[in-house]
Amino acid sequence: MSGSLQGRTCAITGGGGLIGSFLVDDLVARGASVVVVDDFSKGRRANLAHQAEAIEIREVDLEQAGSALDALEGCEIVFHLASRAFGVGHGAGRHWEILAHNEAITNNVLVAVARQRPDHVLITSSSCVHRDDGPDTVGELPLFDGEPEMANWGYGWAKRFLEQKALVVARETGIPMTLVRPFNIFGERYAWAGNSSQAIPMLVKKVMDGEDPVIMWGSGEQRRTYLHASDCAAIMRSLVEAGWTDGPVNIGLAETVTVRELVETICRVAGRSPELIADTSKPEGRFVKSSDPTRLMQAVPGFKPSLSFEEGIRRMTDWYRQEFA
C-alpha cells in the first residue's frame, strides 16, 4: 500500500514498548485507528496512559501458539515490533533462550499475517543481523553474510530468521512488506531491566545515582550512532505510507559518538563531574557501529531527526527522576 494511514486500523505488536509507544503517538496524531498488542512483560501500560481513550489494547502473549490470530484480527496494517532485546552484557549464556523466545513470536505473528492478509506489514529486524567485521559504516548487508553481531548472537540470528520468513510469506501471499533494521534507538520510555539494561539507560542511572567513578564497559572509545525512538517511529510510519518494499532499510545515521562522549554528555546535562573509568574486561561489542543512510534517504527523502542527541539525553535524565528519584 501507499498513502495516508488516516482512518486505517493499524496493529502495533509491542506497542507498549519504547519505540512502539512513540509509534502509537505518531499514528494517533495522523488519525489512524490503533490496536496495541502487548503482554506488558517489557512494555509498559504507563507509556500508553495518555492515549487510553484513543486506542484499543489487546493484552496477548505472542509467544503462545495461535495467540496472534485473534490479536491481529481486523487489522489492515501491521507494525511488528514485539521482541525482547537487552543490553550487550545480557546475551552471554542466554543466546539459545533469546533465539527460542523470538522465534516463537515470529512464527505466531507470521502465521496470523499469512492467514489474515493485511494490506501491509512492517517487520522490525535489528542492526544486530550485521556481522562484526563489516565496514564501520554499514549499509544493508546481505542477510546471511557471515555471523551476526557476536555480542547479540542469538538475537541476531532470531532477527535474520524473522526477515527470511517474512520474505517467504510476502512472496507466497503477495502482502507488501517493509523490513527495517534499527540502530541503537533510545528514549525516555525505556523499561529498566537492571543489569541487563541497554547502554544509555545504564549510564544515565550510574551518573544520576552519583556513582564516582563511573565505570564504562569496554574501552570507552567504541563509537555508536544513536537515534531517539520518536524519530525511529516517524521513519517506520513514513516507510509504510510510501509503500516501501525494495529491500531492508537501516534506521540510523552515519554520525557517531564514543561511549566516553556519551557519558560526558550525560554528565554535562545532569550537572555532575565524576571520574570516568574504562573497564576493558567487559564486552563492548563491535568497535564502530554506524549506519550508511543512503537507502533511508532514498526511502524517506529529506529525513532529519526532530530531536538532537543532547535533547534526547536530557529527556533520559528526566526519565531517571521519574523512575528512580
**Continuous segment of H or E residues that includes residue 297:** helix 294-299
Low-confidence ranges of the chain (pLDDT < 70): 1-2, 85-92
Model pLDDT for residues 186-204, shown as the tens digit of each residue: 999 998 888 878 889 999 9
How many residues can be counted in the chain?
Answer: 325
Residue 193: what pLDDT? 83
For the residues of 193-219, what is the DSSP string, one character each? -GGG--HHHHHHHHHHTT-SSEEEETT
Q: Give the pLDDT confidence score for residue 204 in this predicted structure.
A: 96
**Residue for cell digits 527460542?**
100
| Type of residue numbered 68 | A
**What is the model's pLDDT at position 207?**
97
Neighbours of 39 (CB within 10 A): 19
pLDDT value for 285: 78
Phi/psi of residue 65, nearest 5 degrees: -55, 135
The strands making up 33-38's β-sheet, listed across from edge to edge, are 55-59, 33-38, 9-13, 77-80, 120-124, 177-182, 249-251
Superfamily of domain 194-222+256-288+318-324: UDP-galactose 4-epimerase, domain 1 (3.90.25.10)
What the block records as the C-alpha cell of 55 is 486506542
Instruction: Sort strands 223-224 and 257-258 into parallel, antiparallel or unpaired.
Output: antiparallel
Q: What is the CB-side half-sphere exposure of residue 281 using CA atoms within 13 A?
A: 2
Torsion angle, alpha carbons of 240, 241, 247, 251, to 10: -70
Distances (CA, A) of 318 to 26, 126, 201: 21, 27, 11
Element (H, E) at 20: helix 18-29
Q: Crossing angle for the helix pair 199-208 and 309-324, nearest 10 degrees?
A: 60
Amino acid at 217: W
Using CA atoms, how far apart are residues 295 and 86, in angstroms rounded to an integer? 27
In this prediction, residue 46 carries a pLDDT of: 96
The residue with cell 534517504 is 297
Q: Which residue has the cell 544509555?
A: 200
Q: What pLDDT is stored for residue 1 in this prediction?
A: 58
> Class of the 9-183+226-252+289-306 domain?
alpha beta
The H helix count followed by the E strand count for the chain is 9, 15
pLDDT at 85: 66
Where on the phi/psi map is residue 223: left (φ > 0), alpha (ψ -120 to 50), or beta? beta
Return the pLDDT at 32. Answer: 98
| Domain limits, the chain | 9-183+226-252+289-306, 194-222+256-288+318-324
Q: Which residues pair with 279 in a beta bridge?
A: 217
Strands 288-291 and 137-138: parallel
